[in-house]
Amino acid sequence: MADTSRENDSLLPGNSAVEEPVDAPIDSPFSSYLRTPAIIAHLEQLYDIALKHNNSRSVTNGYLASAEYVQAQLKANAAEFCEVSTQEFKVPVWKELEEPKLSSRWERVQVEYQNKVDFQSFRYNGPSTTLEDQAIQGVANHGCSAEDHKKVNGKIAVIEEGSDDCDLWTAAYHSQTAGATGVLFFNSATRKELRYSEIRIDAWKEGDPLISIPVLSVTHSLGSILLQNQHSTTLTLTTKNSQMVESTINVLCTTKRGQANDTIVIGAHLDSVPEGPGMVDNGSGSSAILEIVLTLAKNIDASSLEIKNKAVFAWWGAEEIGLLGARHYVRDLVGQGEDAKRELALNLNFDMLASPNYVPYVHNGSSAPDPLIIPSTKLDRLLSEYFELHKKDFEHAGMSGGSDYLPFLDEGIPAGGLMTGASRKKSVEQRKRFGGFANAQLDPCYHQSCDTLDNVSKEALELMSQAALHAITKLATSNNLRDWLSNDSTQIL
């Protein structure tokens, strides 16, 4: 799950039982074939890959090896069921190699500032740079207009953050274009913590610009002092960063059966953060949908069901650096024209299904954009069925932008999914309902090196993978998918 989930889970507490359906739901006929030990076996392989690649499966570490493993499993065990393919795309990769340094000189007085106290780098600011005794220039109006940057050429721009009129990327890029040698964004008077956000286009794609100059976050007090003395103060700063554009891939498994005009996309990101192996985030979701594919491939011909709606199972790359794999897939689809876009009926997203201090969450359809509330709520109800059928408690979580459903929602495609929680703390009330530890994070190893196999809750993994299978089976084998999605009723699919 991408970093934005820390602030934007939008969790909706309370018992989340949906309206009583007209018909009683029935379980997936494949539920007894989906075995949790088989999912764990995939996780063990992904963990072994991470151990061979700096304890990580990020874009520049073990991701491609992880993608090769998924492809090998699909080709060996599901070749008759689905067509395996990849999508290649470019992504920007940034890393801070050494701590930045910043000092000022006013007349004969030199002051050294402390990293992570007085200032720190923004992610995706420019590659390694040293600037000595640079003049500074204040920029008005938060730097939202190119006109605000007329005087920054050859100087370090000093800009107050906090405008609703533009993001920091826009202001920094205006300064860079106007010839600034660097940018300092200082906190608004109400912000206490230094910012560590990305100075980059959110939906970056190949050909989009990147920042090539140093960009730092500084405290409100430091920024204010620099502005007051801008004509008599110079700055010296050093940054040590790497900034590269790398190739990566999505892995796709498209069923050979089913009508294309009711296509469903079932996705889970396969990459981890550089800091850890990502067994919960998101080895759990990607391993679960892999074993679901293999289960369907092995057993569907012997069942009374058939695939009626084409399904695309997707293992997204580069989710942890901005949902870039899912964004690429949706952008490519939209680029094929309206007919291709209309064929896509919905997206299901499975990101983090085995948090150790878990709460079972179903994404709340009412948190989708207004035109998508009805179909997304139908997906919410369908995903809730499994918990009701097995008398398992659950809660709802909003779809606020922290995972790969976002690019689909942005293009008017309904979405839903499951998760078990990241950095949010479990409440006392949740402890009573779900067990575990109150006032502790749902995943205490979220985005850390300790997100290993020992961090995986097998209980959560079994519950959530079975719920996912239940919904996927119904969606893929339905005769009336579009009618069901558009009809605001409690009718069972």
Domain boundary among 187, 218, 242: 242
List, for residues 96-123, the tens digit of each pLDDT value.
999 999 999 998 899 999 999 999 999 9
CATH number at residue 217: 3.50.30.30
Domain boundary among 212, 242, 272: 242
- The answer to whether 394 and 387 are in contact (CB under 8 A) is yes
Other beta carbons less than 10 A from residue 464's beta carbon: 30
Q: Identify whether 248 is part of a domain.
A: no
Domain boundary among 194, 211, 242: 242
In the set 319, 320, 385, 462, the catalytic residue is: 319
Judged against a pLDDT cut of 80, whether residue 181 lies above it is answered with yes
Residue 17 has pLDDT above 50, yes or no: no
Say what the pLDDT of residue 2 is: 79
Q: Which domain holds residue 226?
A: 94-242
59, 105: one domain: no
Based on the domain organization, do 288 and 371 belong to the same domain? yes
489 confidence band (pLDDT: 50, 70, 90): confident
Residue 88 forms part of a structural domain: no
- Give 29: exposed, middle or buried? Use CB within 10 Å, 0-12, 13-18, 19+: middle
| Residue 34 included in any domain | yes
State the Cα–Cα distance between residues 82 and 92, nearest whole angstrom.
31
26 pLDDT more than 80: no
21/167 same-domain check: no
Say what the pTM is.
Answer: 0.93
Please report whether residue 429 resides in a domain: yes
pLDDT at 6 over 90: no
- Percentage of residues of the chain with pLDDT beyond 90: 90
pLDDT for the residue numbered 400: 84
DSSP state of 235: E
Does 493 map to a domain? no
CATH number, residue 478 = 3.40.630.10
Average pLDDT rounded to a whole number, residues 277-304: 98
> Residue 274 corresponds to which amino acid?
P
User: How far is residue 404's CA from residue 250's CA, in Å, rounded to a whole number?
Assistant: 12
Asked if 310 and 437 sit in the same domain, the reply is yes
Residue with tokens 């300092």: 184
Mean pLDDT of 113-138: 98
Confidence of residue 63 (pLDDT cuts 50, 70, 90): very high
pLDDT of 62 higher than 80:
yes
**Number of helices (H) and strands (E), helices first, in the chain?**
13, 15
Q: Is 56 left (phi over 0), alpha (psi -120 to 50) or beta?
A: beta
Q: How far is CA 331 from CA 47, 199, 328, 334, 411, in A?
A: 31, 22, 5, 5, 9
Q: What is residue 1's predicted lDDT score, i.e. its pLDDT?
A: 80
Q: Within a domain: residue 57?
A: yes
pLDDT at 327: 98
Question: What's the total number of domains in the chain?
Answer: 2
- Mean of the per-residue pLDDT values for the chain? 94
Considering the domain boundaries, does residue 492 fall inside one? no
- Average pLDDT over every residue of 468-482: 96
Q: Do residue 227 and residue 290 come from a single domain?
A: no
Please state whether the peptide bond connecting residue 282 to the residue before it is cis, i.e. omega within 30 degrees of 0: yes
Nearest to 305 by CA among 474, 493, 481, 79: 474
Judged by DSSP in three states, 100 sits in: strand
Is the domain of 410 the same as that of 262?
yes
pLDDT mean over 479-488: 90
**Residue 291 catalytic?**
no
